[in-house]
Each structure stands twice: as C-alpha cells, then as structure tokens.
Structure 1
C-alpha cells in the first residue's frame, strides 16, 4: 500500500514507522527541524525497549506526494486550517484520508441521522474550508488508543497501546477500509473496524473532554485529578451533561461516568496531551475537545453548566498564556 503521512507527530510518526517496517511504501510531509532530522538520519522509533531507524521519503512540498492510496492525517487540530490549504495536491481521485485526531472531527455529522447531515461546527471548521478540502466521502475515521511522544524532531517514543478503531462515516463496509485495516494489522497493530465509528469517537471524547482541560489548568496527572473528591464530582457532572447531549444526536453511552473514571484511574499518572502542550508552550486543542461539545449542546438545547464553566476557565487560561486565540471560534 502507498501511504503518505501528513506531519510526523507522535501518532503519524508511529504509523509511518510501523507501516514502513512492514514493507509498505511510506512518504511524509514535514517541515523545519523534523524535515531536516528525518532527511539526515531517518525516522527513529523507540518502542518496547528497541530502537528502529526507518528511512522514508520526506518533503515539504505537497505536490511531490501525489498518488497515495491513503493520506494519514494525525495532526494537532489547531493545525487543521493549514492542512486545508496544503492537502489538495496530495489527493488523487481514489485517495482516502485516515482521520486520527482528538475531539469532534469535521466529518462527524455526515454519518449520523440525516437531519444532522451537513451540520458544521464553528469550533472545528469555522469557514467550511476543511470540509471543502477533504469531503467526508474521502474519510476513513480512526480512534487511537495509544500513548506516544516526540522527545526530539524525527524521534517517536511509543509508551503503551497500539489499538486503532477504523470505520467509514455512516458505517459502510468498503474495500478501502478492509485493505487499510489489513495493512495496519499486518504491521502488528491491534486493529478493529466499526460500523459506528462516530460512536467510538464520541465515547473516547467523553473521557478526554474533562481530563485534558483539567490537567492543563491544574498541572496534574489524571490519577491526581480523579483522586480529588471535588474534582471527581465536577468531572462526573460534566460527563453526565455530555452524555445527555450525545443521546440527542443518537449517540448513547452505556456506562456511567463513575464506571468510565474507574477505568481511567487504572491508567495511573498519565500526563494528557493538553498538559504536554501547555508545558511545551504549544496551542491547546480546546475547540475540538470541548468547545465542540458546548456547541453541540446549543444545537439540541441541552443546558451544560459544568461544561461551559470548564470551557470558560480553560479558554481564559489559554488566552492569558498565549496558547489560545484572543477571539475564540466558539
């Protein structure tokens, strides 16, 4: 399979390395220090106590990367406006886009109840440029259950997990989905296909939407947040609100917030991606992870005071530190 990875961050770099090691033709779009490092020494993957150095073709020119079977899109959601302007030359007639990012994606409503089809959230695609550049028909959705980081340019450190849930928006079983799932499984990854990928996206977000902002605000790992009685109660309140919102969109959640938080607590002292972004001085993914949920609540007229409070606090926190726009999208 011919695979192009848009941006060699932790997840994109991990997939690039694993697929290349399995014999697939992998190229990548990168820039700056990452581009220079991979050109000079290859892509380095640290995983399971071993180090792999993987030579892959890398460039900063999208026009040089046309003709892939799949473009892997696993960038920070704050970079999506840049993606919309660059990805066009990479997309051939049959190119699929594997969307593996945090939060509510731009294609999310395409496969829900027909009354929501065409819904566009200001929090995720304010001017419609992303949906125009990458129509939902091109997308294969992905939910990623793993932890990895980039300790330096061109280096990916894999901590744990390698589970990927894949699905077409709206649920059809397609040849391209089967081929991609087989390629990833052949690379040693744990791959599942799901006819309700939107549900899988929503369930993951249901936990992330509180842990990420609270960790950014407090500087605490997830275990410390959940061990605090007052914060745990607040987390459960926000998750209860989000569950009500999801039900109105046909996305019920079977477990209770308490059950989900017990599972999360077992992960231990995890530093969320938003906390890592704060520590590194990078923009925070607040719009896709939380503002999107608040906007969905307004669409179905569900009151979400805990979510709104968390959004307001984290938004101001980010603005004061220059990590969030002074004029928010939503």
Structure 2
C-alpha cells in the first residue's frame, strides 16, 4: 500500500514508522532540515516496540506494560514536491491546523479517485459537518476554512477522520520520541462502517496501533477538544504544565466555565457530554507534569492552532445561539499573547 505522510512531525512521524514496519511503501512530503534528515537517516522513532496482533493477547499485554524502548529507523521516499511521490492509496495529514491552507494548495498530485485522506489533527476539522449535524449539516466553518479552499482541494469523499490519543515529541528533524498512548479512533464523517474504513482499521491494527472504529468520529473529536481547548491555550500563555494548571483553583474554575459553554454547544449539535468538567479534570490530573502541544509550539516559535481549538467554538456558539463569554475571554487573551509573540 502506498502511503504518503503530509506533516512528518511528532504524530505523523510516529505513524509513518509504524506503517512502514507493517509493509507499507511510505513517502513523506517534507522540506528543509526535515527533508535532509529523512534523506540521510530515514524516518526514526524512539519508543516501545509495536504491539502486533500476531503476538497474541498475553505477549501483547506484556509488551505494553514494559518500559523497554527501541530505536527504529525506516527508509522512506521523501520530497518537497508531492508530484514526485505521485498518487497514493492513503495520505496521512498530520499537520497543525494553521498549515492546512498550504497543504490544500499542494496536495493534489497525491490524490487519485480512490485515495483515502486520513486527517490526524487536533480540534474541529473543516469537514466537521460533512454527513453530520442535522440542521447544521453542510455548514462551512469559517474559523478553520475561511474561503472553502481546503474543502475544494480535498473533496469530502476522500476523508476519513482520525482522533489520536498518544503523546509524542521530536528529538530532532525526522526523529520522533513516543512517550505514552497508542490509540487511534477512526471513522467516516457519515458514520458509515464502509469496507474501506474497515480495511483501514485492519491495516492500523497490523501496524501495532490500538484502533477503534468510531460510530461517529465527530463526537470523538469533540470530546477530545472538550479537554484540550482550554488547557492548551492556558499553558501557552502561562508556560505552565498541566499539573500546575489543574492545581490552581481559580484557573481550574475558569476552565470549567469554558467547558460548560462548549458542552451546551455540543448538546445543540448532537454531541451530548454527560460528564461534568471536574470529571475531565481528573483525567487531566493523571497526566502529571505534562507539557501540552500548544506550549511546545510556543517554545519552538511555531504558529499556534487557536482557530481550530477555540475560535471555532466561538463560531459554533454563534451558530447555535449559545452565549460564550468565558470562551471569548480565553480566545481574546490567548490570541493577544500569540500575536505579541508573532505566533498567530
């Protein structure tokens, strides 16, 4: 199977190594230092050994509980020009949301009539209301696709959504470190259990990922957003790890207010969340002194993906008639901070 990775950062690189180990022919769209590293060393991963179905349940359990790590390197085709890689069976898009406009302009040569585009991204995707949302179905979200250029470049029939539950970082260009988590949730935007999504699940399982076929991938994306739309920007502004954020009563209370606004929006678009914010806080506390992806971006001087995590929630509030004063305050402060630092 021909697989192209568009966005060989932490998540894209991790998935690319695993897919190559499963026998896929992996190509990577990259440039600059990442392209040079891939051409010299291949795509590299430091992490636990892959847990494959053929290991059996006992060995799989032993492997996942082990603290052992391996250094893995796989050869990949790499180019700054997608046309040199050609039409693919699967394109994994694992970029941060601010990069999607540029991806849309260049992705065309990778797409054939039956190419799957698997989006492994944070926040609310541009295709969120494709085949979903009742009276809101088909709505274009201006926060993430202002002119509709992304939807035009990547027709909806290519899309399968992916929600990632794993923590990875970069040791250097093209060199990923997997910290914890190994779970992927995938699904058609329509919620259908098509033959192609079942085949994709089988491939991802063969590559060693804990893979769940979603009944409605938008719900999984929204539930993940419900936690990280607050902690990410708060960490970006303050430099605090999640343990410090959760340990501050006033900050935790403010975050809860934002989450209640988002929960009401979820009810109105067909994604009810029965939990209370404090239930989700307990999950976040278990991460310990965890550095969010947005804080990592700030420290690296990279653009922050505020629009896909927070601006879009404000837009959804306006769409559904839910007042969002706390979300607005969070967005205003985080946006100002990012602008001052040249990151938005």
Deviation at 1:65, TM superposition (A): 2.1
| Correspondence for 2:29 | 29
Deviation at 1:38, TM superposition (A): 0.6
Match of 1:56 among 55, 76, 82: 76
Match of 2:281 among 261, 276, 293: 261
Question: Aligned partners of 1:92 and 1:80: how far apart in 2?
Answer: 19
Given the two structures, how large is their TM-score scaled by the length of structure 1? 0.97
Deviation at 1:187, TM superposition (A): 1.1
1:97-108 mapped onto 2 (5 Å cutoff): 97-108=117-128
Deviation at 1:208, TM superposition (A): 0.5
Question: Aligned partners of 2:225 and 2:133: how far apart in 1?
Answer: 19
* Secondary structure, aligned partner of 2:289: coil
Question: Aligned partners of 2:7 and 2:278: how far apart in 1?
Answer: 36
Quick check: 1:8–1:28 contact (8 Å CA) kept in 2?
Answer: yes
**Unmatched 5+ stretches in structure 2:** 49-68
Question: Aligned partners of 1:111 and 1:238: how far apart in 2?
Answer: 27
Deviation at 1:26, TM superposition (A): 1.1
Question: Aligned partners of 1:179 and 1:21: how far apart in 2?
Answer: 17
| Correspondence for 1:46 | 46
1:229-244 mapped onto 2 (5 Å cutoff): 229-244=249-264
Deviation at 1:151, TM superposition (A): 2.1
Is 1:118 aligned with 2:138?
Answer: yes
Deviation at 1:50, TM superposition (A): 1.0
Structure 1 stretches (4+) deviating beyond 4 angstroms?
A: none
| Correspondence for 1:327 | none
Question: Aligned partners of 1:165 and 1:7: how far apart in 2?
Answer: 19
User: CA offsets, 1:75-120, max 9 Å, x none?
Assistant: 0111001011000111001001001101110000113234212211
Match of 1:273 among 293, 300, 310: 293
Quick check: 2:262–2:313 contact (8 Å CA) kept in 1?
Answer: yes
Match of 2:178 among 158, 169, 181: 158
| Correspondence for 2:317 | 297
Question: Aligned partners of 2:83 and 2:301: how far apart in 1?
Answer: 31
Given the two structures, how large is their TM-score scaled by the length of structure 2? 0.93
Match of 1:312 among 317, 332, 336: 332
Question: Aligned partners of 2:289 and 2:283: how far apart in 1?
Answer: 13
